[in-house]
Amino acid sequence: MTQRPTAFVNARLVDPASGWDGPGALLIRDGKIADVAQGGDLGTLSADIDVIDARGAMLAPGLVDIRVKTGEPGAETKETLKSAALAAAAGGVTSIVLQPDTDPVIDEASVVDFILRRTRDIELVHVYPAGAATKGCKGERMAEIGLMREAGCLYVTDADRPIVNSKVMQRVLAYAKSFDTLVAHRPADPWLSAGAVATASEFAGRMGLSSVPPIAEKIMLERDLALVELTGARFLVDQITTACALESLARGKAKGLPVTATTSINHLSFNEIDIGDYRTFLKFDPPVRGEDDRQATIEALASGLIDIVVSAHAPAPAEDKRLPYDEAAPGAVGLQTLLPALLAFHHDGRIPLVDLMRTVTSRPAELLGLAAGRLAKGAPADLVLCDLNAPIVVDLDKLKSKSRNSPFDGRRLFGEVQMTIVDGRVVYRV
Amino acid sequence: MSAAPTGLNEVLSRTFPFPKRHFLSVVDLNPVEVSGLLDLADSFVSLNRQHSKKLDLLKGRTLMNLFFENSTRTQSSFELAGKRLGADVVNMSPRSSSISKGETLIDTAVTLNAMQPDLLVVRHSSSGAASLLSQKVTCSVINAGDGQHEHPTQALLDMLSMRRAFGRIAGLKIAICGDVLHSRVARSNVGLLQMMGADVRLVGPPTLMPTDADRWGVDVYHDMRKGIAGCDVVMMLRLQLERMDGVMAPSQREYFRFYGLDREKLAFASDNVRVMHPGPMNRGVEIDSDVADDLAVSLIQDQVEMGVAARMAVLASLAARLDND
């Protein structure tokens, strides 16, 4: 089943790893990138090569989304690995990292193994699990971090649940360091956040929504950074969304701590006013912030203080969203809208395209030690071809996820994924 | 049934038709609509004081009370309002019946909607619940309190009581005191009173004040004597007892000392001050019985009476629009 080699010509090659954004061509052979011609062409192409004329569309590494939830195992009515993989493929995402808070929790090697075997059969995009940092994501006792790492989990995290006990967090960090394993943690003070569904503000007050002040994020992050300094562990700030926490992050990075940070496309794209008349599709965890925090987050992305953008894909079926705001499930699907939503910052001139794409390709790939995420000879042929200027209107009915809780419903965006390639195979074509 | 009393027909003939299908939030209203509702309510007050109280404006209409939270006084106020206008009234308490077992709010609403009510009065513990419901049913929805968000008929009846006591709303100095943070009554009152030109201030401890409440266009006071100084109306809010005892306030006695309304504090208000409370009262916690029961200053009993009239005005206005559909 050897595939014919394929050449992309007349493309706008965007390769954040080398910093290249310009015309070029690229050759795929045997699932790998066989040749890259930045600024030129591939020379004479032999007759056995299929040639695809990109007509100026962007050819970039497929996206690496390191914070994705599905419903498998345990809640397959929300989302299966297959439906998530289809959504990813349609969104130009070629690698996804699953959160461990499934049922059962991914807190031992056998569950890691189950996920890897299931996704091998699906043969769409690369799917990697993150393991739980503590057993059952309960924040009490350490999970089998070493064994899960051996089985193939990429990092450890308790997903949405903060590890409240500082002693447990210290041990997780110290232990994970011995396996050179990245620890991700959601910065949220549990007491200030308890019961909150919105960010404290004049708006939340008028709407009568229980709210959490933005400093809840800063308070927990300051603790985490102190423990990182103590233990020297590699640390990932999971979804930073507030100006005050960004100040702490900047100080930690300036000190040289081994810290990386993500934010979610939702917090870059929406503010609390979008809640409007209690739209539960805007209910996220962490809650959607005010405009000042959103602007600070975009600034931090532009300056490189924030390293990575995630979709924070979290499927919730209609029955979990068609509820009063405080009862509705948090989260939004995002695999299919991540790229066009992110491109908005390129189109409005705020962030250069190559820098923007770095946050969803080479940067997360490097962090997790993946060979993907770059357009280089010998790298896996994981690619996305995207017509940057094609207008799209997000239509819930066209989402591939089993749950269609997208806050981007009806949004007009620019950037249509035309083709997604994983290991040289076309997994999506418009 | 008696004919409409003189006055009502006149009021009906000279007010604008109410253009909205639902009654969810004071934010949806404008001053002309509010004045019209108050005029209409005024005429219902006279009707309610007659021997024969019944009209047929809502004849053939079905009013459904859907109270997910118990509230005897609001529910019976709506029930009486509906009955006096000639509607058939059904009371549903989903919590104590089988209708809500495992069902979501929407499912319950859709089920009840299929029984073809014309007016659905909803109380629910979640902010936004009435609005959510209104998007899924074909009848008119009246918000009888949604979480910590709004209680618009309460604000209307409070305003009716004040207008009858002072003859105006514009320019009145009104202090709303106590647990503003959890109070839908406070939110609806702030919005409606500001719309009609009153000067509103909020008084309470910082722990019971919403974030950035000073940006609502009101002055916020933590010292009650300063807060009610010169005020024409002191509106007390109910404080749930479980929120004291060290949670939101250190103790009942400490709360009463600093934020309970007694004669001594009331002396700081205007000489002609009126005291209000949406009920039910915690006597000796947020208000001294001595003040609450003084008919020279207390409007608390009036508020209950005005409640029926104000709700009749809302129901009649919504039903008139249904008739025109």
Q: Does A200 touch chain B (CB under 8 A)?
A: yes
Residue indicated by tokens 């300063």: B226
Q: What is the pLDDT of residue B27?
A: 95
Q: What is the pLDDT of residue B101?
A: 58
Q: How many CB pairs under 8 A join A and B?
A: 66
Residue indicated by tokens 């002055």: B219
The C-alpha atoms of residue B157 and residue B313 are separated, in whole angstroms, by 10
Please list, in sequence order, all residues whose beta carbon lies within 8 angstroms of the beta carbon of residue B37, skipping any fewer than 6 positions away.
B18, B156, B310, B313, B314, B317
ipTM of the complex: 0.87
Q: Does B151 touch chain A (CB under 8 A)?
A: no
- The pLDDT tens digits of the residues spanning B46-67 come to 989 988 888 989 999 999 999 9
**Residue B7 pLDDT > 90:** no
Mean pLDDT of B298-303: 96
Give the up-direction half-sphere exposure of residue A31: CA atoms within 13 A in the CB hemisphere.
6
- The pLDDT tens digits of the residues spanning B233-256 come to 999 999 887 777 778 889 989 999
Q: Does A318 touch chain B (CB under 8 A)?
A: no
The answer to whether A347 and A411 are in contact (CB under 8 A) is no
- The pLDDT tens digits of the residues spanning B251-277 come to 989 999 999 999 999 999 999 999 999
Closest partner CB to A206 (pick from B104, B147, B187):
B187
Mean pLDDT, chain B, as a whole number?
A: 91
Helices (H), A179-331: 190-193, 202-207, 215-231, 243-254, 265-269, 291-303, 318-321
Query: B229: distance to nearest CA of chain A, Å?
Result: 25
Structure letter (DSSP) for residue B262: -
Closest partner CB to A202 (pick from B149, B184, B212):
B212
The C-alpha atoms of residue A340 and residue A152 are separated, in whole angstroms, by 30
Terminal CA-CA length for chain A: 24
A46 exposure class (CB count in 10 Å sphere: 0-12, 13-18, 19+): exposed
Q: Flag if A324 and B124 touch (Cβ within 8 Å).
A: yes
The C-alpha atoms of residue B189 and residue B183 are separated, in whole angstroms, by 10
Q: What is the pLDDT of residue A313?
A: 98
Percent of chain B with pLDDT over 90: 75
- The pLDDT tens digits of the residues spanning A334-382 come to 999 999 999 999 999 999 999 999 999 999 999 999 999 999 999 999 9
Structure letter (DSSP) for residue B85: T
Q: What is the pLDDT of residue B105?
A: 84
The C-alpha atoms of residue A370 and residue A64 are separated, in whole angstroms, by 9
Q: What is the pLDDT of residue A402?
A: 96
| Residue B110: Cβ within 10 Å count | 15
Dihedral of alpha carbons A148, A332, A88, A310, sign = negative
Closest partner CB to B104 (pick from A200, A201, A322):
A322
Pairing of strands A259-264, A235-237: parallel
Give the up-direction half-sphere exposure of residue B44: CA atoms within 13 A in the CB hemisphere.
32
Secondary structure class of B84 (helix, strand, coil): helix
Contacts of A194 in chain B (CB under 8 A): none
Spans of chain A, pLDDT less than 70: 1-2
The C-alpha atoms of residue A300 and residue A246 are separated, in whole angstroms, by 8
Contacts of B194 in chain A (CB under 8 A): none
Classify A164 in phi/psi space as left (phi over 0), alpha (psi -120 to 50) or beta. alpha
The answer to whether A46 and A91 are in contact (CB under 8 A) is no
Mean pLDDT of B74-85: 96
The C-alpha atoms of residue B262 and residue B256 are separated, in whole angstroms, by 9
Q: What is the pLDDT of residue A172?
A: 98
Identity at B283, one-letter amino acid code? R
Beta strands in A238-354 (DSSP E): 259-264, 308-310
Contacts of A213 in chain B (CB under 8 A): 211
Q: Flag if A205 and B105 touch (Cβ within 8 Å).
A: no
Query: A233: distance to nearest CA of chain B, Å?
Result: 37
Query: A295: distance to nearest CA of chain B, Å?
Result: 20
Q: Which residue pairs from A135-143 have beta carbons closer than 8 angstroms and sit at least 24 positions apart in sequence?
A: A135/A105, A135/A107, A136/A105, A136/A107, A137/A100, A137/A101, A137/A105, A137/A107, A137/A161, A139/A163, A139/A164, A139/A165, A139/A168, A140/A165, A140/A168, A141/A168, A142/A168, A142/A171, A142/A172, A142/A175, A143/A107, A143/A108
Instruction: Report the candidate in A13, A29, A186, A96 with the shortest Cα–Cα distance to residue A401.
Output: A96
The C-alpha atoms of residue B248 and residue B181 are separated, in whole angstroms, by 10
- The pLDDT tens digits of the residues spanning A167-189 come to 999 999 999 999 999 999 999 99
Q: What is the pLDDT of residue B205?
A: 96
Contacts of A210 in chain B (CB under 8 A): 148
C-alpha to C-alpha distances, B184 to A326, A412, B121, B149, B202, nearest whole angstrom: 15, 36, 16, 5, 14
Pairing of strands B199-203, B140-146: unpaired
> Confidence class of residue B15 from pLDDT cuts 50, 70 and 90?
confident
Q: What is the pLDDT of residue B171?
A: 97
Q: What is the pLDDT of residue B4?
A: 55
What global pTM score does this model have?
0.92
Q: Which two tokens stand for residue A129?
A: 């699990």
Dihedral of alpha carbons B148, B152, B157, B161, sign = positive
**Residue B311 pLDDT > 90:** yes
Chain A interface mutation, best of B100, B146, B149, B150, highest count of A Cβ atoms under 10 Å: B149
**Residue B2 pLDDT > 50:** no
Q: Which two tokens stand for residue B150?
A: 């709004």
Q: What is the pLDDT of residue A350?
A: 97
Distance of alpha carbon A386 from the chain centroid? 18
Give the up-direction half-sphere exposure of residue B258: CA atoms within 13 A in the CB hemisphere.
15
Query: B283: distance to nearest CA of chain A, Å?
Result: 26
Contacts of B128 in chain A (CB under 8 A): 207, 277-278, 324-325
Q: Flag if B132 and A323 touch (Cβ within 8 Å).
A: yes
Secondary structure class of A183 (helix, strand, coil): strand
Query: A289: distance to nearest CA of chain B, Å?
Result: 14
Residue of B nearest to A214 (CA): B211
- Backbone angles phi and psi of B24, in degrees to 5: -110, -35
The answer to whether A66 and A97 are in contact (CB under 8 A) is yes
Which 77-106 residues of chain B touch chain A by CB within 8 A? 104-106
Q: Flag if B146 and A208 touch (Cβ within 8 Å).
A: yes
Q: Does A194 touch chain B (CB under 8 A)?
A: no
C-alpha to C-alpha distances, A182 to A130, A131, A143, A165, A361, nearest whole angstrom: 10, 10, 14, 19, 18
The C-alpha atoms of residue A153 and residue A427 are separated, in whole angstroms, by 24
Beta strands in chain B (DSSP E): 62-67, 88-92, 119-124, 140-146, 173-177, 199-203, 219-221, 233-236, 274-276
Mean pLDDT of B86-95: 88
